[in-house]
């Protein structure tokens, strides 16, 4: 049988996958956002992961907003977001809705593969019953499942989809082979076949949990060294001369992965009666960095005898990481909110973010290039290391400051900062 593939969800994960499969297989990319579908059909990817040329090269790929258009597919790959709610608990709503939709068109022999990051057990314990109910089919008799976690790094043009080793798994040994063969046909870096779906789910969720814990350690070290008036940057440089020292840097931890995924694991652990103290403490440390940065900014304003109330503050960068337009779960917003709570007037400049998209998400308008304006700022916080910011000189920052510049450098890219994390 010739595979016909449907990719459900066309965000940072789904669109590269759909494009790659669309070079070799009849592929349908589905997204519930009609504006997104229209843009992709015109050759524009707002995530900037795919160029117009790359989209055009995927000659067997088409797009739709209607799940009924995927009825002839036999492979369904679900790549929807798995966010957390305001209580830091897993929100499986996108996964549930997409499973219901796929179930409504599922046929005998079909395979449903999940790529969304989840806690161990979600595929078989949460999604499979929904697929069974919506389809009227029996799991591992009439249809099958797989899990192959995404490893996309937004904005990374070196480690792209086909260059990242892919974990695969299936609900039976035979289906595991089918899923592995499918991904092997498009992933040049190769695949790793996990022994079960739960193992694959767990492997993914600990990848970002490990990074979160390590970043929390260097963030705590940075806070300790700051109280000692020692440069954490210099300390880490010195310690990094040892061959087995892990090269993590302090900073804000946001985005759709590292700042979210640990909560999926801790939720499941606590459900099973285990208190994951280290992971939860790491989350607390990392979530507290925005407030610390805002308070340091206020500290320097006070030291320079500048008014806090209505102080004009410029934030350079809004995205959760450099050189990508992704603003999901960005902790720069928390810095902005903290400074606003102190009574400051905060402007935000980010050349990577679509003003319409940002305003829709945060109800806030970005400013145009501040260096082309006559406005002066009491403090400037460089929050993201976009390539456009790397060559900005101290004198340029001085030219838009209302006196001696107060430069708060979160990313270690500013010449002569007032304070560096």
Q: What is the pLDDT of residues 331-343, one digit of tens each?
A: 999 999 999 999 9
Contact 119, 265 (CB under 8 A): yes
CATH number at residue 158: 3.40.50.720
Residue 363: what pLDDT? 66
Query: What range defines the domain where residue 329 resides?
Result: 288-420
φ/ψ region of 26 (left if φ > 0, alpha if ψ in -120 to 50, else beta) reads beta
C-alpha 315/C-alpha 326 separation (Å) is: 16
> Would 258 be classed as within a structural domain?
no
Residue 243: is its pLDDT beyond 90?
A: yes
Q: Scanning the structure block, which residue is given the tokens 């102190």?
A: 342
Asked whether residue 57 falls in the same domain as residue 189, the answer is: yes
> Are residues 191 and 292 located together in one domain of the fold?
no
Dig out the tokens for 96 from the structure: 């549930």
Determine the pLDDT at residue 327.
87
What average pLDDT does this structure show over 115-131? 97
Same domain for 293 and 183? no
Is 244 a member of any domain?
Answer: no
Q: What is the pLDDT of residue 197?
A: 98
Tokens of 216: 């929390």
Mean pLDDT to the nearest integer, 305-317: 95
Nearest-10 crossing angle of helices 277-287, 261-271: 150
pLDDT on residue 326: 86
154 and 299 both lie in a single domain: no
- 276 belongs to a structural domain: no
Which pLDDT score is estimated for 158? 80
Question: Quick one: pLDDT at residue 159?
Answer: 83
Q: Which pLDDT does position 129 carry in this prediction?
A: 98
What's the rounded Cα separation, in Å, for the pair 300 and 403?
Answer: 13
Quick: pLDDT tens for 374-393.
999 999 999 999 999 999 99
Question: Mean pLDDT across the chain, nearest whole number?
Answer: 94
Q: Which of 195, 210, 232 is the last residue of a domain?
A: 195
Total domains in the chain come to 2
**In-domain check, residue 271:** no
Q: What are phi and psi of 346, to 5 degrees?
A: -105, 125
Laid out side by side, the sheet with 111-114 consists of 61-64, 26-30, 4-8, 75-78, 111-114, 144-147
Tell me which of 162, 178, 195 is where a domain ends.
195
CA–CA distance, 418 with 339 (Å, rounded to integer) = 17
| Token pair for 242 | 């040892």
Whether 360 has a pLDDT exceeding 70, the answer reads: no
The answer as to whether 269 is a domain residue is no
For the chain, give the percent of residues with pLDDT over 70: 98
Last-in-domain residue among 171, 195, 219? 195
Question: Active site residue: 73, 127, 145, 257, which one?
Answer: 257
The predicted structure's pLDDT at residue 1: 63
**Are 292 and 187 part of one and the same domain?**
no
Residue 273 falls within a domain, yes or no? no
pTM, full prediction: 0.91
Tell me how far apart the alpha carbons of residues 123 and 157 are, in angstroms, rounded to a whole number: 30
Pair (297, 181) in one structural domain: no
pLDDT digits (tens, 9 = 90+) for 88-109: 999 999 999 999 999 999 999 9
Q: Residue 357 above 80 pLDDT?
A: no
Contacts of 16 (CB under 8 A, 6+ apart): 49, 50, 152, 160, 161
pLDDT recorded at residue 222:
95
Question: Taking a C-beta distance cutoff of 8 angstroms, is the pair 60, 25 a contact?
Answer: yes
Active site residue 324: no
3-state SS, residue 380 = strand
Is 236 part of any domain? Answer: no
Is there a contact between 130 and 103 (Cβ–Cβ < 8 Å)? Answer: yes
Mean pLDDT across 16-21: 96
Residues 14 and 119 in one domain: yes
Question: Do 181 and 318 belong to one domain?
Answer: no
For residue 122, tell me if it sits in a domain: yes
Copy the structure tokens of residue 28. Answer: 């349908």
Q: How confident is the model at residue 68 (pLDDT cuts 50, 70, 90)?
A: very high
């Amino acid at each position: 049988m010739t595979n016909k593939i449907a990719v459900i969800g066309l965000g940072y994960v789904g669109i590269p996958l759909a494009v790659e499969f669309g070079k070799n297989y009849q592929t349908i990319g589905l997204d519930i956002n009609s504006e997104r579908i229209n843009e992709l059909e015109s050759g524009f990817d707002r995530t900037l992961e795919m160029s117009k040329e790359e989209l055009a090269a995927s000659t067997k790929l088409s797009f739709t907003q209607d799940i009924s258009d995927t009825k002839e597919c036999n492979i369904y790959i679900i790549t929807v977001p798995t966010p957390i709610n305001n209580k830091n608990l897993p929100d499986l709503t996108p996964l549930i809705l997409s499973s219901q939709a796929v179930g409504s068109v599922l046929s005998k022999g079909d395979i449903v593969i999940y790529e969304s990051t989840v806690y161990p057990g979600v595929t078989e314990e949460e999604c499979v019953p929904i697929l069974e109910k919506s389809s009227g089919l029996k799991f591992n008799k009439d249809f099958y499942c797989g899990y192959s976690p995404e490893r996309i790094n937004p904005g990374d043009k070196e480690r792209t989809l086909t260059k990242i080793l892919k974990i695969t798994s299936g609900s039976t040994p035979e289906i595991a082979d089918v899923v592995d063969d499918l991904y092997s046909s498009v992933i040049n870096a190769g695949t790793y076949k996990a022994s079960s779906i739960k193992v694959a789910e767990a492997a993914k969720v600990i990848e970002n949990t490990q990074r979160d814990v390590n970043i929390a350690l260097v963030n705590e070290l940075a806070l300790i060294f700051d109280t000692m008036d020692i440069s954490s940057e210099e300390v880490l440089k010195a310690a990094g001369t040892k061959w087995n020292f892990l090269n993590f840097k302090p900073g804000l931890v946001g985005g759709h992965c590292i700042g979210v995924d640990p909560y999926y694991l801790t939720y499941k652990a606590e459900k099973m009666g285990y208190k994951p103290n280290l992971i939860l403490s790491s989350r607390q440390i990392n979530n507290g960095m925005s407030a610390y940065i805002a308070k340091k900014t206020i500290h320097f304003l006070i030291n320079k005898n500048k008014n806090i109330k209505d102080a004009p503050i410029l934030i350079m960068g809004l995205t959760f990481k450099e050189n990508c337009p992704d603003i999901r779960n960005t902790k720069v917003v928390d810095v902005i909110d903290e400074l606003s709570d102190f009574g400051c007037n905060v402007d935000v400049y980010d050349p990577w973010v679509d003003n319409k998209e940002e305003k829709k998400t945060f109800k806030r308008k970005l400013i145009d290039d501040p260096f082309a304006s006559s406005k002066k700022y009491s403090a400037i916080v460089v929050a993201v290391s976009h390539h456009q910011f790397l060559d900005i000189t101290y004198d340029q920052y001085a030219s838009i400051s209302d006196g001696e510049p107060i430069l708060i450098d979160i990313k270690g890219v500013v010449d002569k900062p007032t304070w560096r994390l």
